[in-house]
Chains A and B, each alone.
Chain A
């Protein structure tokens, strides 16, 4: 904290004295790295005095003018949508130093609240609820407590207190995001943004009347909960994650429609707080999308022992909110035959059937772009494609709105990739290196391909696939925590040692996955990473175990770095 503050003041003064802007930006960036990717942690350290801030802004404007960066345009970059994707892109843009050009002059347009879904109605508040559920679960697990030698008299919770924690966290992160952008000189424009023509955006509240031009535009408008037809959402007894995160009630019995990440995390929260849960899943298996082996174990650990039952292979064709003393009615039909199967009567229903892109009103028709099921079509560089399949110059779309990988950090990574491109460095994001996590207790995380996907690819391309697995029961730290439930599996090519996918279910799986995702992103192979040392005893040894268990056929010498000093 102290260090960060010092770094900022140095950079501010160096700007004032007209020293190299690039150095200053870099150093401010150095602060930012901890401040912005992990917003929660370090943003308080970014409080620059207003005077310093003004100097920064002036210096930036001068610098931009001097290089002629924005010249004929109001901005180098305008981002529509200040969610995690837009935020990531904006920060990278203002700190980005291209060829002889300092940071891009950047504006971000937001019609709702800074932070978007993730910060306000998604990942962030749900983590607050899950933090509570994890502790409740632990305190209520008599066996677990006893085996640690702990005695705890009955644990309870105050619903409003839990809800406040989630809400406070969201507003804290939101203000952190806002401050970080302001501090670095991103203009935050309020209103709904519409593309009115090539490199031209109109925005404003109510009657959008302000028009700005931008050399490049990034669409980052995100998504909203998807509610299938026939489901009547009243926000009280039938609701989406938007409402659920406010935790206005804890129903005795709640049906969760959809058993993906969102549904699974909420089942963890609700059962920990005392609800009983019924899953409704249209596919034949719970948790589709997860590696099947992980899904099966997850069912044993996260579903079967809890107060949860489920209906698979059924659609909720009609859901009526509770009224006049009648419960919530859910009509289930067979997913294949469409025959009526059963009507559930529950206290509440959470609709977690996925998310739909939020791209209406963007004015895409003005530039001959047609959305596909609402998603903005893009190429691998996130360049928007028009109705004829041609790239629309200077227009990009990142995040949920393009539907490539609907994760907050994927959006941010795509945004950074776009900024790299527009500052003259070609960049293609490897989506297979983007990790994903589900924050149940224990957590689930994954990166790359699932085993069936890897085998399919192997069949097509004619290579072999190997899988190694290890159990958390074999990990000292996990056993010390009395949390031996879980496995990790590594899918790799035995001929080259390439890591194809890693899947983890177990304590802190979400934090553990990055060693694997970084290895994939950097192209590090199993035969090399297996020589990297892990502190003992730590959970990270679960991955160490995997790397060491993997057998690579080549038998070629590994490339351990030469020691610097012999």
Chain B
């Protein structure tokens, strides 16, 4: 994908690299001044490319070339994570990858040097010493340099553990371990790499015990399903600081931005007996509670367009023409809000199917931008964890978000003086008070509770 996009975006020779070189640590005495000036002209920086117009920094997923590798113009060097996909980045010059300045897993601003490319093998040590001046953390320890100076083909220094990140074997390498061979079909190997499944842990079901695609898929989903039961302990590297992924970075940025919006909250308790009954009845047809709630919310929003509006400039109402319900979903390492577009117009069954499709895509990180950033109203539901009430932060660009708690059996007094049990849930709407006022929210919530307490309209 986008093979052409970044042809132009990498590796231009940089004068700054050369200037910096002048101030770099002095080389061993073996390097003559003649050599040094020849050398200086031939070490180039590899820059973090801009993969999209909005990208300001990128994260290195993996280095496809290792230090010391010979590269020809156009060879892929590094995989960079953008907000949409991981992209291969190619070099624009021949040479040797001399030093990796930003190891896999770290981020760098667009345009900053992420590696050094030496034109010839002899220049690798020079480039490596130069690398030391860039960032102490990424540079190889000094003794290595002298060693490299002596031996003519310098061994690549071990520190950055870049290219070994993927456990699945690369296509051309034999899948051999302890003498046992692994036979896996081409697609199975590809999937294993994509899903980070170790092929050695997979039992093949194909002809002759061959591992085929479905085996890898099964292996990829199996441990995840088992996780909540067996391994309750979350898998985090305790005692270390883990940088944000691109998605987490985006969440962080949005949350801080939301502080600029004057928000307020209005809560409401809704009886869900009728909704629960309806749900039980149509659950077998693939209808989910999320879809039901989204549908109910959308129907209420039809009557209260201001709650579906947003304030873009602090001076006006933007009344959205569609009711697009974004529903927050926790996914591995982050949070995303797949959007049910035109939720008021779709019937509950289509909506449920659509929802399932979106969730699958979200888990596979395949959502298209319009599928997660076109929401006009957001739902966040923590009811499944037993949370009875919480409040949500308003996502920038929308007018309101509703936090939904668990529906629980509650003792209630009725108007005729009796005491009874009813299933009730608490909802709490956070809204932008520049455009949505208390009365608006109150009216909206009243409509919503009417719809939920008499949900026959939800199924048309």
The answer to whether A345 and B210 touch across the interface, beta carbons within 8 angstroms, is yes
The answer to whether A327 and B207 touch across the interface, beta carbons within 8 angstroms, is yes
Contact with A along B182-201 (1 / 0, CB 8 A): 01011101100000000000
Q: Which residue of A lies closest to B209 (CB)?
A: A345
Task: Report the Cα distance A345→B211, complex, angstroms.
Answer: 12
The answer to whether A311 and B171 touch across the interface, beta carbons within 8 angstroms, is yes
Q: A307: which of B3, B4, B187 is its contact (CB, 8 Å)?
A: B187
- Cβ-based interface call for A308 (8 A): yes
The answer to whether B3 and A297 touch across the interface, beta carbons within 8 angstroms, is yes
The answer to whether B185 and A253 touch across the interface, beta carbons within 8 angstroms, is yes
Q: B174: which of A342, A471, A473 is its contact (CB, 8 Å)?
A: A342
Nearest-neighbour CB distance to chain A for B119, whole angstroms, equals 19
The answer to whether B3 and A308 touch across the interface, beta carbons within 8 angstroms, is no
Given contacts A278-B186, A307-B186, A307-B190, contact A327 B3 (CB under 8 A): no
- Cβ-based interface call for A310 (8 A): yes
Q: Which residue of B lies closest to A293 (CB)?
A: B74
Task: Report the Cα distance A415→B174, complex, angstroms.
Answer: 48
The answer to whether A341 and B174 touch across the interface, beta carbons within 8 angstroms, is yes
- Cβ-based interface call for B206 (8 A): yes
Contact with B along A17-35 (1 / 0, CB 8 A): 0000000000000000000
**A-B residue pair count with CB separations less than 8 angstroms:** 49
Task: Report the Cα distance A342→B171, complex, angstroms.
Answer: 12
Task: Report the Cα distance A134→B38, complex, angstroms.
Answer: 53
- Cβ-based interface call for B386 (8 A): no
Task: Report the Cα distance A208→B206, complex, angstroms.
Answer: 53
Most buried by B among A307, A341, A471: A307
The answer to whether B208 and A345 touch across the interface, beta carbons within 8 angstroms, is yes
Interface residues of B in 59-109 (CB under 8 A from A): 74
Most buried by A among B3, B74, B183, B213: B3
Given contacts A296-B74, A309-B171, A327-B207, contact A471 B189 (CB under 8 A): no
Task: Report the Cα distance A487→B3, complex, angstroms.
Answer: 10
* Residues on B with beta carbons closer than 8 Å to the beta carbon of A327: 207-208
Task: Report the Cα distance A342→B173, complex, angstroms.
Answer: 9
* Residues on B with beta carbons closer than 8 Å to the beta carbon of A342: 174
The answer to whether A310 and B207 touch across the interface, beta carbons within 8 angstroms, is no
Contact with B along A124-165 (1 / 0, CB 8 A): 000000000000000000000000000000000000000000
Contact with A along B152-173 (1 / 0, CB 8 A): 0000000000000000000110
Q: Which residue of A lies closest to B183 (CB)?
A: A345
Q: How large is the interface on B (under 10, 10 to 19, 20 to 34, 35 or more residues)?
A: 10 to 19
Given contacts A293-B74, A327-B208, A471-B4, contact A309 B174 (CB under 8 A): no
Q: Which residue of B lies closest to A326 (CB)?
A: B208
Task: Report the Cα distance A305→B186, complex, angstroms.
Answer: 11
Q: A309: which of B183, B189, B213 is its contact (CB, 8 Å)?
A: B189
Task: Report the Cα distance A97→B191, complex, angstroms.
Answer: 63
Q: Which residue of A lies closest to B189 (CB)?
A: A309
The answer to whether B190 and A309 touch across the interface, beta carbons within 8 angstroms, is yes
Interface residues of A in 227-283 (CB under 8 A from B): 252-253, 276-278
Task: Report the Cα distance A327→B207, complex, angstroms.
Answer: 8
The answer to whether A277 and B186 touch across the interface, beta carbons within 8 angstroms, is yes
* Residues on B with beta carbons closer than 8 Å to the beta carbon of A309: 171, 186, 189-190
* Residues on A with beta carbons closer than 8 Å to the beta carbon of B189: 309
Given contacts A293-B74, A341-B174, contact A253 B186 (CB under 8 A): yes
Given contacts A307-B187, A310-B172, contact A252 B74 (CB under 8 A): no
- Cβ-based interface call for A301 (8 A): yes
The answer to whether A312 and B172 touch across the interface, beta carbons within 8 angstroms, is yes
- Cβ-based interface call for A292 (8 A): yes
Q: Which residue of B lies closest to A277 (CB)?
A: B186
The answer to whether B187 and A276 touch across the interface, beta carbons within 8 angstroms, is yes
Q: A310: which of B1, B3, B4, B171 is its contact (CB, 8 Å)?
A: B171
Q: Which residue of A lies closest to B173 (CB)?
A: A342
Task: Report the Cα distance A310→B185, complex, angstroms.
Answer: 11
The answer to whether A252 and B186 touch across the interface, beta carbons within 8 angstroms, is no
Task: Report the Cα distance A520→B424, complex, angstroms.
Answer: 80
- Cβ-based interface call for A300 (8 A): yes
* Residues on B with beta carbons closer than 8 Å to the beta carbon of A310: 171-172
* Residues on A with beta carbons closer than 8 Å to the beta carbon of B210: 253, 345
The answer to whether B4 and A487 touch across the interface, beta carbons within 8 angstroms, is yes
* Residues on B with beta carbons closer than 8 Å to the beta carbon of A95: none
Task: Report the Cα distance A473→B1, complex, angstroms.
Answer: 12
Q: Which residue of B lies closest to A485 (CB)?
A: B3
Nearest-neighbour CB distance to chain A for B71, whole angstroms, equals 13
Q: B4: which of A277, A305, A473 is its contact (CB, 8 Å)?
A: A473
- Cβ-based interface call for A347 (8 A): yes
Task: Report the Cα distance A269→B258, complex, angstroms.
Answer: 53
* Residues on B with beta carbons closer than 8 Å to the beta carbon of A341: 174
* Residues on A with beta carbons closer than 8 Å to the beta carbon of B207: 252, 327, 347
Interface residues of B in 1-49 (CB under 8 A from A): 1, 3-4
Interface residues of A in 302-321 (CB under 8 A from B): 305, 307-312
The answer to whether A252 and B171 touch across the interface, beta carbons within 8 angstroms, is no
Task: Report the Cα distance A278→B175, complex, angstroms.
Answer: 15
Nearest-neighbour CB distance to chain A for B180, whole angstroms, equals 14
Task: Report the Cα distance A287→B171, complex, angstroms.
Answer: 17
* Residues on A with beta carbons closer than 8 Å to the beta carbon of B187: 276, 307
Q: Which residue of A lies closest to B4 (CB)?
A: A471
* Residues on A with beta carbons closer than 8 Å to the beta carbon of B74: 292-293, 296
Task: Report the Cα distance A301→B187, complex, angstroms.
Answer: 16
Task: Report the Cα distance A89→B190, complex, angstroms.
Answer: 49
* Residues on B with beta carbons closer than 8 Å to the beta carbon of A252: 185, 206-207, 212
* Residues on A with beta carbons closer than 8 Å to the beta carbon of B174: 341-342
The answer to whether B186 and A276 touch across the interface, beta carbons within 8 angstroms, is yes
Q: A301: which of B3, B172, B186 is its contact (CB, 8 Å)?
A: B3
* Residues on A with beta carbons closer than 8 Å to the beta carbon of B212: 252
Interface residues of B in 424-453 (CB under 8 A from A): none
Task: Report the Cα distance A127→B186, complex, angstroms.
Answer: 25
Task: Report the Cα distance A172→B272, complex, angstroms.
Answer: 71
Q: B3: which of A276, A277, A300, A326 is its contact (CB, 8 Å)?
A: A300
Task: Report the Cα distance A341→B3, complex, angstroms.
Answer: 32
Task: Report the Cα distance A277→B189, complex, angstroms.
Answer: 12
Task: Report the Cα distance A300→B4, complex, angstroms.
Answer: 11
Q: Which residue of A lies closest to B181 (CB)?
A: A343
Selected A-B contacts with CB under 8 Å, 23 pairs = A252-B185, A253-B185, A253-B210, A276-B185, A276-B187, A277-B186, A292-B74, A296-B3, A296-B74, A297-B4, A301-B3, A307-B185, A307-B187, A308-B186, A310-B171, A310-B172, A311-B171, A326-B208, A327-B207, A327-B208, A345-B208, A345-B210, A487-B4
Which 4 residue pairs of A and B lie closest in terms of their CB atoms, listed nearest first?
A307-B187, A309-B186, A309-B171, A342-B174
Given contact pairs A307-B187, A312-B172, a sample of 4 additional A-B residue pairs in the complex whose CB atoms are under 8 Å apart: A276-B185, A301-B3, A311-B172, A341-B174
Q: Using a CB–CB distance below 8 Å, which chain A residues touch chain B?
A: 252-253, 276-278, 292-293, 296-297, 300-301, 305, 307-312, 326-327, 341-342, 345, 347, 471, 473, 487
